Structure 1
Amino acid sequence: MKTYSLIATVAAGIESLVANELKEHGYKTETENGRVRFEGNARDIAFTNLWLRTADRIKISYGEFTAKSFETLFDQTYALPWEDILPLDAEFPVSGKSVKSTLFSVPNCQRIVKKAISKRLMDYYHRRQHLPETGALYPIEVSILKDHVILSLDTTGSSLFKRGYRMDKGGAPLKENMAAALVKLTTWRPDRPLYDPTCGSGTILIEAALIGHNIAPGLNREFSAEQWTMLNPDVWPIVRQEAREAIDHDIELDIYGTDIDHRMIEIAKANAKKAGVGDSIHFKQMQLKDFTTEKEFGILISNPPYGDRLLDEEEAHEIYRQMGDIYRAMPTWSKYILTSDETFEQHYGARATKKRKLYNGALKVDYYQYWGIRKKRND
């Protein structure tokens, strides 16, 4: 199979998580802002779309060059072997972005790239008139940063965070890949208790259960590249079947989620069932202040409502105070709390062991980490 230069796009702040995922699967990586580069063939494209939990998309970097004029952009685009990947009937819309570049007009850049690819295909397929574009979708992007052009094809389609299990989101939902990132940024392992006191539609706990049972997050959805005839579509059912065989339902998970809103609990249960982990998570309607546990060395993850998300500031601060009062009495537990409120520590009543800046969509947030007492290991 032909090897391609691939890019896993990722939200700012969690590039290292995507790089680590790829390395765990045996890929060599190069990390840049907002993306992780690696190489792979058609099978690798299928595999990474199915298995990466924290990435946004998998793209083929089909050409990279410097361009300061539309003529150069056209010529360099035309010079690429588009016929090797685009069939005669390919539908290939061109999106674009340009930052700090001589060619700053994105619509013009898109038009030039579209024109160059069209001419290349028309010349190759001996077409005098327009191309039909009635076949499979091949989304192309022209991205220009400081005059460096990357022409890429999006193999994913809808972003990887769209796993397909969320029947209802509820208010202020957390993207599935960000929820997976929150889990991966903790010290949780499948043999430890995991609790979310503000579970909402259950996304964080569902992602943890998928990790615990080794379920590929993209197993139950479709991807753009599955329809690409030039990219060996036969690999997709093979990779899917291998992913099904890798699932381990014998692992017993201790995952518990509560929310004050009984409607969100019902939504969470339905989402977990759709994801195939309904029997692995215990959901219960409960006020945050009523939580008690005799379990030790667990992990708590919370994405509580904050001032610009569902509650006003006074209500949010009261929740933080309750958290501080309750969780200080759980010294062996490690707590991880996501919020955009920069005064969180003040109301919680303790400084975090560590604080990590992330982005929940366009919203800048902090992930406050309070590490519990470590469990002593037997010699």
Structure 2
Amino acid sequence: MPRPTPPMRAARDQSTRMVEMLGELVGHESPPGSLRHLTRCADLLSRWGEEVLGRPARRVVRDGSPHLLWEADDQQILLLGHFDTVWPAGTTADWPFSVNGTIATGPGVCDMKAGIVQMFTALKLMASTARVGMLLTCDEETGSATSRDLIVDQARRSGTVLVGEPSTPDGRLKIARKGGALYRLTVDGRAAHAGVEPHLGVNATVEAAHQVLVLRAMNDPAAGTTVTPTVISAGTTTNTVPAAASLAVDVRAWTDAELDRIDRAIRTLQPHLSDATLSVRQEVGRYPMAPQRAMGLFQQARAAARDLGLPPPGGARAAGVSDANLTAALGVPTLDGLGGVGGGSHARSEYVDISQMPDRAALLARLVDRILAAAPSTAPSGVSRSPSIRSIA
């Protein structure tokens, strides 16, 4: 077995501290929308970032949500991540951070608190952080509503974005992602007594059921397009014809054209029942992350792994979306999946392999050094810095 290179030895010297940091960060619960918890977690991360970068975070608060930004004057690379999780407050009471051998578990341990620890460790290992910015947001899991413009602005001024979301369980980086959209379909009907005069009502539940079948028919398995009705609510009492119903629809697709096709189809849905009315609102939208935005950086990452004596990572196409979709849609070179090696995100089976964390931190640091060694002092040509972004949101 080859002897580890000096950067690898430096990274592995951080192993114990990385696990300690991960346990502390998982213990700082950060459920979506809980401003008290998010602020407490942001306080911890702010301290860590200042220790590593030698400059304080700028806390960007939007609707109470605290996002953390460490800007660089001549920023060439943006390290991007999020510290919110999908887990409600109190989850750590019955599912605390724990380590069994090389496997750590706990809420958010993989998505994406291990990635944050790795990013901070990578910053320690870099030759220079003078041209590296870092942005940690706290609303990615709910659609990045308050952080979207911040992400866009920082991606444009950087020219390269490296995202600390988890890799695949076998360590592949994410070179493409499906795009996604969430729609809210509202049905307005008419109430009536369900036992005495149901014929005088317009049943919103029945109308919603018809729409579910129409939506299911929009799926295209050959193209990988999924249209999935999810949460539905309707009615008030068991003896009343429902006057209103609400239906959430999750859409995923590999291409802009497929997302646009589904968007047009959903917006032109027609009611099945006479006197029922439909309205559609899109709540979240991200175009796909196309592989051409990642391939140059992916090859650099493989070369960085070889520099360190590590096996070059493979590439994967991910069905889920992340903030990488936003930056790639700008035309900014973006590579995702540079975070923890693990799996089970959003489930009680969530885990990360802590033995891989130092190596992945070293890989990220080496990748940054390689990019900066070849980077000009201004953003790469072809990267738009105009104020607009094509978006389905």
TM band (smaller chain): under 0.3
TM-score (norm 2): 0.24
Q: TM-score, normalised by structure 1?
A: 0.25
Q: Which has the higher contact order (CA 8 A, sep 6+)?
A: 2
